[in-house]
Structure 1
Amino acid sequence: MLATFSLAGTARAELPAPADFSVSYYVTDESGEFVRPMVERDFRYATNRARCECGQRIGVQIQAKDGAEFDSSTRIQAFLGTKCATAESSPPGQFLPCGVLADALVATFVQGVMGAFHPAFLASGVDPASPSRDVAGADTILGSACSDKVAGQTSLWLCDPAANGTANCQPDEFFYGPDGALSQLSGVPSILYDFQPPLMEVKELTVEPADGGVVLRWELPSSGDIQGFRVLCEEAATGASPGLDFPTPELGEVPGTDHYFTAGNLCGAQPFSTVKTAPADVTDPDTCGNGVLEAGEACDDGDDNGPEGLCDESCELRVSPSLHALDWDHVCSDHITFRGTDVAIHGLENGKAYNFVLVSYDMAGNPRVHDKVVTATPDGSLPSPDGGLEGISGEGCACAAGESGGAGVLALSLAALLGLARRRRR
């Protein structure tokens, strides 16, 4: 049912109340089509870095409610971003101008405004040099996108740009948004976005061989932001996945449980939508270890580069490209709770060396790989992996374990990696 209005004919009405508008958000598919309304778990956990890098758009519908009173000439502007009320009235600085979703007369909002936007608009403002601020515009340039240092929450912002007689939206003309400084904002839903991997780091990762598997152990600090762990593995000599069957997370799955998400696993080399961003400043270009993959480098994990890491001091891979990319085909453990400090891995071939890495992830499903590769060779003369967890691996049992970072990984070309089929079990 369409909203109906009593239009003021002589004097301009005061700012609308947030309750005069209904704002609904939707989960979308690869094409940006609305699939279902967002629920609490979507608002809290779904907007992670992988979905931002894949450009899985967020749908929104703005509907003026029955009984609201507006002047027929009222024009409403809808923005997406952080601190939009502040950014609109200040020179570009800490908060860049927000993206514009709609700019229309009340009559348009009576009919309802629908759109979909790239998740990056929640966290990043529009570059001052951008020729457009339209969230659907191909020439809109953001200040940044999907940065792994960004987390926060925000929502749609609405303003009446002519309420105080001054051109453009001023802070006192915003009537809907997540900012507590705005009046009467109870009930405004906010979307939490989290592009950061876990901040907490595990320590002392070790591996012991067993019959048809291995046992991994690690130490945890007393507190942190880890939701769980997975172990990934590969054949040390070839880089091949051992082929253990752990279904890949689906696009519509909500994190906060037992998965991590990467863009490679969700959308492969073909994002669903993209945004333009201003060139990033690199303070030390063409330097191995700066965390930026540059010409001539097979990898660059920044501070995690090292002789035991997935990427060495010369920015050469010590594991296969697919394992380095945390491809879900390499998963060889089920979900391990955030309190876990050990795990038994089954289904491996005795006499064959395997590399193992430990991946932690937060409630949003953002992964962080531990910066140490460990290697071991399952041995049929040893106890089972479950026996190792019971503490029966005695003196001499660890002597069959390989040194950290085993040798002989397969040097797959980038083209070959991109050609790998992305598994989607439905």
Structure 2
Amino acid sequence: MPDVPSPYVYAALLATFSFAGTARAELPAPADFSVSYYVTDESGEFVRPMVERDFYSSLNRARCECGQQVGIQVQAKDGAELDLAAKIQAFVGTECAEAESSIVGQFLRCGALADALAATFAQGVTGAFHPAFLASGVDPSSPTRDVAGAETILGNACDGLFEGETSLWMCDPGANNTAGCQPEEFFYGPDSALSQLSAIPTLKFDFQPPLLDVENLTVEPGDGGVELHWDLPASGDIQGFRVLCEEAATGASPGLDFPTPELAEVPTSNHYFTAGNLCGDRPFSTVKAAPADVTDPGKCGNGVVEAGEACDDGDDNGPAGLCDESCGLRVSPSLHALDWDHVCSDHLPFSSKGAAIHGLENGKTYNFVLVSYDVFGNPRVHGRVVAATPDESFPGVGGGLEGEGCACAAGDSGGPGVLSLSLVALLGLARRRR
């Protein structure tokens, strides 16, 4: 973690920060504080400060399911006009100001990061929190609201269709005579005009896959490879595609080497992320959540894998899907889990209408799956598996493109068509992100 100042000496703080005495001062200004966010590793240790791409495209469902914590440091700036004896509370969540004072409302109360004297913030407050706190408030049954508390219970975990943008929230609970923080006592948060003028960093999060899917996926065999083609949706928030493949007879990966994204690297939006690929079955941290309701419990097709089922892809179950009508697998478990070992292509931009896959063995049948993902890396699997058998009697694929394991866009639109599609897609994305 970054260095935290040593315990303060009261006289030294008086020389640095203005002191309001016994009279209640006005609320602090957002510009009085510096808030920094950090990318953490498997142990929750700070690796590097977040940069703009982290703020806007890193917090996906997989990072939430793996519990890759968000590091944070809050520091009062030198010269800040603070009443050092006043209390300051800091929260993590969505619409914290409204939730804090509502007995019954749309939002649950936010997780608590700190409840301390302003003098403590002069030293610096450092911590970390599970990404689920950004999207979900604390369940009323929870015995604590502490973001670091093992017993804190959230209203939801990471499997809801959550997306939004928020930041740290700070308030002065003693600014008026009402107990606790009231909306007018919040001075730092994403909804504050003063906060926005102070360029407060906000965190975008998105735990849901692309809203729309491609159609009419087909595959054509060639010499040592195949070509896949599909039709694009008219709009949506697809950032790109990857093709996954396996040997149909064994479920083995063809061994085409496409590097996996590193846990702490700056996101490029050229990869998809799953919990299985990111942390396996060993999450970095966990958080408790109230039990989620299951629609049609015990019924194949409800989208939840239950006792006796190998898979359940909901509406995508079927004779051509990865999971059949009886919730049995039609592909290997690792391909169904989108294991990165099965990736057979580079990143394909959202305007791509096809891909050429090289480096396959003639005479061997392969299954192919198309995965789309949004700018955050949340994947959506096209619910149709296609199969083909390369053969030396067929022409080469991709218009003579070379390179073992290469995947090249085939049939990309050119000229005004690409621009038109891009604008429509961006408009759809903007509508979703509001």
Same fold (TM over 0.5): yes
In structure 1, give the amino acid aligned to 2:120: T
2:305 to 283, 293, 300: 293
Contact preservation (8 Å) 1:130, 1:139: yes
Q: How far apart in 2 are the matches of 1:19 and 1:368?
A: 41
CA shift at 1:222, angstroms? Answer: 2.5
Identity rate, percent: 77
Alignment of 1:295-334 (within 5 A): 295-334=307-346
Give the TM-score normalised by structure 1: 0.89
2:95 to 83, 87, 94: 83
Give the TM-score normalised by structure 2: 0.87
Aligned counterpart, 1:254:
266
CA shift at 1:71, angstroms? Answer: 2.7
2:188 to 170, 176, 179: 176
In structure 1, give the amino acid aligned to 2:121: F
CA shift at 1:249, angstroms? Answer: 1.2
Aligned counterpart, 2:428:
none
Deviates more, 1:170-179 or 1:7-16: 7-16
CA shift at 1:181, angstroms? Answer: 6.3
Aligned counterpart, 1:270:
282
Aligned counterpart, 2:65:
53
Aligned counterpart, 1:222:
234
Deviates more, 1:69-78 or 1:125-134: 69-78
Contact preservation (8 Å) 2:242, 2:344: yes
Q: How far apart in 1 are the matches of 2:196 and 2:173?
A: 18
Contact preservation (8 Å) 2:189, 2:195: no
SS at match of 2:335: helix
Q: Does 1:376 align with 2:368?
A: no
Alignment of 1:171-210 (within 5 A): 171-180=183-192, 186-210=198-222
Q: 1:199-232: per-residue Cα shift (whole Å, max 9, x none)?
A: 1210000001111111100000222211110000
2:144 to 106, 126, 132: 132
In structure 1, give the amino acid aligned to 2:220: E
Aligned counterpart, 2:112:
100
Q: How far apart in 1 are the matches of 2:400 and 2:84?
A: 75
CA shift at 1:387, angstroms? Answer: 3.5
Q: 1:27-80: per-residue Cα shift (whole Å, max 9, x none)?
A: 111111111111101101111111111111010001111122233320000000
Give the 3 Å change call, closer, same or farther, for CA 296–333 of structure 1 in structure 2. same
Alignment of 1:395-406 (within 5 A): none
CA shift at 1:305, angstroms? Answer: 1.1
CA shift at 1:175, angstroms? Answer: 0.3
Aligned counterpart, 2:379:
367
Q: 1:72-111: per-residue Cα shift (whole Å, max 9, x none)?
A: 3200000000000000011243200000000001111111
CA shift at 1:161, angstroms? Answer: 0.5
SS at match of 1:350: coil
CA shift at 1:184, angstroms? Answer: 6.8
SS at match of 1:47: coil
2:361 to 349, 359, 362: 349
Gaps of 5+ in 2: 402-434
Q: 1:348-381: per-residue Cα shift (whole Å, max 9, x none)?
A: 1111111000000111111111000001111110
Q: Does 1:335 align with 2:324?
A: no
- The count of aligned residue pairs is 389
Q: Does 1:116 align with 2:125?
A: no
SS at match of 2:361: coil
Aligned counterpart, 1:411:
none
CA shift at 1:196, angstroms? Answer: 1.2
Q: 1:298-347: per-residue Cα shift (whole Å, max 9, x none)?
A: 00111111111111111111101100000000001111111001111111
Divergent runs of 4+, >6 A: 181-184
Give the 3 Å change call, closer, same or farther, for CA 320–167 of structure 1 in structure 2. same
CA shift at 1:112, angstroms? Answer: 0.4
SS at match of 1:207: strand
Q: Does 1:213 align with 2:225?
A: yes
Give the 3 Å change call, closer, same or farther, for CA 93–316 of structure 1 in structure 2. farther
SS at match of 1:44: helix
Q: How far apart in 2 are the matches of 1:64 and 1:199?
A: 41
Aligned counterpart, 1:393:
none
Deviates more, 1:31-40 or 1:62-71: 62-71
RMSD across aligned C-alpha pairs, in angstroms? 1.5
In structure 1, give the amino acid aligned to 2:275: A
